[in-house]
Structure 1
Amino acid sequence: MLTGGGVFALFQWAQKEYRAPGPLAERTVVVIEPGSGLQRIARQLSEAGILDRPEVFIAMLRYTGEYRDLKAGEYAFDPAVSPEAVTRKLVDNDVLSHAVTIPEGLTVYEIFDLLRQNTDLTGELPDGVVEGTLLPETYHFNRGESRADIVRRMQIALQAVVADLWENRSAGLPYATPEEALVLASIVEKETGVALERPHIAGVFVNRLNKGMRLQSDPTVVYALTSGQGPLGRELTRQDWKVDNPYNTYQNTGLPPGPIANPGRDAIAAAMNPMPTKDLYFVADGTGGHAFAETLKQHNRNVAAWRKAKSSGN
C-alpha cells in the first residue's frame, strides 16, 4: 500500500512523464472519430506510436478533468510530441487544415469536378449554382467539411469582391449592373492568362460595346459549343463562328446572356476599371500575350505576324 509520500512521488513521476517528449519518430496524422472516449483515444494514440505510456495520459486527463473536453477531428502530431502537448491539441481542437485551390477561369462544371474528386470533403454538391457566381481562390477547410459549405463560401466571397469593386468602378461603363460586369470579366478571364493584360483587353471590349461592334471573342464560341462542360479539345473553325447560340459573340451584338466562366478578382477589377485605350482589336502575339491595334488594317498585320510565327513553330 502506498503511503502519502509514495502517492506524491508517483504523482510527480506521472507529471514528469506527461510533460516529457514522447516516442513519436516522424510526423503522424491521426483521425479521432466522433464519440471516441478517453480509453479509445489513448489506445489509438498509443498504437500510432504517439504515446508510450497511455495509462499516464489517461490518469492525468482524469485528474485534470480535461478528458471531457477532447474533440474529434484530424490531428497532425510532430515528432517527440509530449502527452501534455497532445492534450492541448485535442482540447483546443487544433485540427489539421486542408486546402483546395480553384484556378481562375473554370466553369461551375469544372469546379464541381475538382470538389467531387477531393476525398477530404464530404457530401453532395448543391443544385442550381449559376455560372460566374463562384470566386476562384484557395479555400482552407477541416477534413469532413461538406462540399456544399465550400460552394457557399465561394459564393459569399464572390459577392463581397463584386460589391467592393462595383462601388469603385469607372464612370461611363457600357453595362448597368454588376452582373453584366461579371459577364465581361469572365470573357476577359478566358481571353488571357497574363494578369497585366486584363485591363487592356477589358478596355478593348468596352470600346467595342460602346461602338455597337460585336465582341467576337473565341472563348464565348467555345462556351456555346461545350456549355462549359470542359475544354473543346480542338481549335475553333470558321464554321464554329457561325453556330446559332446566344453565347456566340461573332453572331450576336452585346454581351452574352451570362458569364462563360468564374473570373478571379483581377479580371473582375479589369471589367470594373478597364484601361483607357483607343484599341479595338487584339490577337495572340505568339509569346503568350497579345498584340493590340486601333485599326483593322493594323490588326490584320498582327494576325498575319501571328500566323507566320505559328506556322514556323515560334
Structure 2
Amino acid sequence: MIWRNIASNFFTLLVVLLVVLAGAVAWAKREFSGAGPSEIAQCVQIAPGASLNAVSKQLAEQGAISSAYIFRAGADYMEKSRDLRFGSYLMPPRASMEDIVETVTRGGPSTCGTEVILRIGVRENTILLRDINPETGAYEERDRYDPGKGDAPEAIIAAQEKEDSRIRMTLAEGATSWQVVQGLKGAGFLSGEIDEIPDEGSLAPDTYEIEKNEDREALLTRMAQRQATILAEEWEARPFGLPYETQQEALIMASIVEKETGVPDERPQVASVFVNRLEQGMRLETDPTVIYGITGGEGVLDRGLRRSELNQTTPYNTYRVDGLPPTPIANPGRASIRAALNPAETDYLFFVADGSGGHAFGRTLEEHEANVARWREIERQRGQSTDSPVQGGG
C-alpha cells in the first residue's frame, strides 16, 4: 500500500511539474514572440566577432529585451545563434526578441548609428557626419565640410575610423564625370588612384554603400555598370520612331534634358521639344551644351553666356551646329534617360523660364517670343539683367 501511495504521489508531482514546465515554455514563447519592453526605437549595434551571450546581455542592459536567457534560448531554437551579422540596426518601438534575432542575423546595410556621407553635387562636394536619433528614427547632422577647401574635422576623422560607421556616397543628377573624380579624390575613406576621367554620362547618379578603403577605380566601375544597366533597360522599353540610332545618342539627349530642367514633371516635355526639333531638322539651340563646350565639365560657369560665345562655332554649340553634340554633357539619372526615350507627345518647339522654377512652352516662334517677353518683364521686376540672349530651346 505504501509503495502505491508513493507511486501515486510521484505521478501527481510529475504531472504538476509537466504542467508547470509547459506553462513556462508557453510563457517563454510569448515573451520571445510578443511585443518587447522598449517604448522607443533602439539602435542595436553588433560588434565584429560578438558572441550571442555578449549581445543578449547588451540588449537586456539597454532595455531592448526583457530576458537575456530567453533571447539566447530563442536564437538557439531558431538555429541562428551562430549567424550574428556585424552592423548597426534600428529596431522599432516594442520590437520582439524574435524580430531582433531575425534582423541581427539577416544582416545587410546598417540602418542606424554613425553615418558618413560623401555628397557629390553640381556646385559643390560635401562630406557629412550624421547620427540617428533613436527616439525619432531620424538622422541628425553633427558636422560637415567641403573636402576641396580644407582638412576634415576631427569628429569626421574619428567617425571614419569607427568599425561600425556606415559610409555612403550620393551622386547628384547632372554632375559631370570630372566633378565625380574630384569628389572621390577628396574622400579620405577611399583608396587608390584614378587613372583617367570616365566618359561623360557613363556614371549613374544614385546612392552607393561604400566599404572603408574601397578602391576608387572599383567604385567608378560599379557606377558605370549601373548606368549601363539602366540605359539598356530603358532602351529596350523605348517606343519606335525616335530619332536616335544608338544608346549613346539617347544618353546625350538625356544629359541635355537633365541640365535643362530641375522640375521632374517637365522632363518629358523638355525632351519632346528637342525630339521635335531633331525631327524637323532644326538646331537644338540649348545653352547647357554651349556651357559644357566652354568649361569641359570642369566646374560651373557662374555667369551668363556672352553673345560672342553663342556665335562661336564649336562641336558643343548647338546654336551653330546641327544635331546632337558629340558626347553627353553630364551624368543623367534614370528619370531623364526615361524622358529622352519616352518624350511627351507635343507640338512644342520652344521653351523659356516662366519665373516659377519651371518653363513656358511654345509651339510657334510667336508664342515663344511672347513667353520670352513675359520672362524679361519678370527679370526687370526682380532687378535682374535682361541682356543675356534667350533663343531656341533654352
Identical columns (%): 38
- C-alpha contact 2:202 2:224 (8 A) present in aligned 1: no
1 or 2, which has the higher strand percentage? 2
2:323 is aligned, of 248, 254, 260, to 254
Q: Specify whether residues 219 and 41 from structure 1 end up closer, same or farther in structure 2 by C-alpha distance, changes over 3 A only.
A: same
Shift of 1:68: 1.8
What corresponds to 1:290 in structure 2?
360
Q: TM-score, normalised by structure 1?
A: 0.72
Shift of 1:310: 1.4
Q: How far apart, CA to CA, are the structure 1 residues paired with 2:192 and 2:329?
A: 20
What corresponds to 2:241 in structure 1?
170
| SS of the residue 1:67 aligns to | coil
Q: How far apart, CA to CA, are the structure 1 residues paired with 2:102 and 2:83?
A: 10
Q: CA deviation digits over 1:83-131, x for unaligned, max 9?
A: 3332232334476559987654343455678899999xx7569955432
Q: CA deviation digits over 1:53-72, x for unaligned, max 9?
A: 32443355456643123333
- C-alpha contact 1:170 1:272 (8 A) present in aligned 2: no
Q: Are 1:191 and 2:260 an aligned pair? A: yes
Greater mean alpha carbon deviation, residues 301-310 or residues 93-102 = 93-102
The AA in structure 2 aligned to 1:303 is: V
Q: TM-score, normalised by structure 2?
A: 0.60
What corresponds to 2:100 in structure 1?
86
What corresponds to 2:274 in structure 1?
205
Higher relative contact order (CA 8 A, sep 6+): 1
- C-alpha contact 1:215 1:254 (8 A) present in aligned 2: yes
Q: Where does 1:120-135 land on structure 2 (aligned, <5 Å)?
A: 123=190, 128-135=197-204
- C-alpha contact 2:351 2:359 (8 A) present in aligned 1: no
Q: Specify whether residues 178 and 193 from structure 1 end up closer, same or farther in structure 2 by C-alpha distance, changes over 3 A only.
A: same
- C-alpha contact 1:73 1:143 (8 A) present in aligned 2: no
Q: How far apart, CA to CA, are the structure 2 residues paired with 1:100 and 1:219?
A: 26
Shift of 1:311: 0.7
Q: Specify whether residues 224 and 142 from structure 1 end up closer, same or farther in structure 2 by C-alpha distance, changes over 3 A only.
A: closer
Shift of 1:190: 1.8
Q: Where does 1:50-69 land on structure 2 (aligned, <5 Å)?
A: 50-62=64-76, 65-69=79-83
| SS of the residue 1:260 aligns to | coil
1 or 2, which has the higher helix percentage? 1
Q: How far apart, CA to CA, are the structure 2 residues paired with 1:277 and 1:60?
A: 62
Shift of 1:307: 1.3
Which structure: larger Rg? 2
Q: How far apart, CA to CA, are the structure 2 residues paired with 1:40 and 1:245?
A: 67
2:291 is aligned, of 222, 228, 246, to 222
Q: How far apart, CA to CA, are the structure 2 residues paired with 1:179 and 1:34?
A: 45
Gaps of 5+ in 2: 1-12, 113-167, 384-394
What corresponds to 2:53 in structure 1?
39
Gaps of 5+ in 1: none
| SS of the residue 2:374 aligns to | helix
Greater mean alpha carbon deviation, residues 180-189 or residues 83-92 = 83-92
Q: CA deviation digits over 1:165-193, x for unaligned, max 9?
A: 44x2325x2x3212112211211222233
- C-alpha contact 1:228 1:260 (8 A) present in aligned 2: yes
Q: Are 1:151 and 2:220 an aligned pair? A: no
2:341 is aligned, of 266, 269, 272, to 272
Greater mean alpha carbon deviation, residues 95-104 or residues 215-224 = 95-104
Q: CA deviation digits over 1:15-36, x for unaligned, max 9?
A: 5654554432310122313322
The AA in structure 2 aligned to 1:107 is: T
- C-alpha contact 2:39 2:93 (8 A) present in aligned 1: yes
Instruction: Give the aligned CA root-mean-square deviation in angstroms.
Output: 4.4
The AA in structure 2 aligned to 1:309 is: I
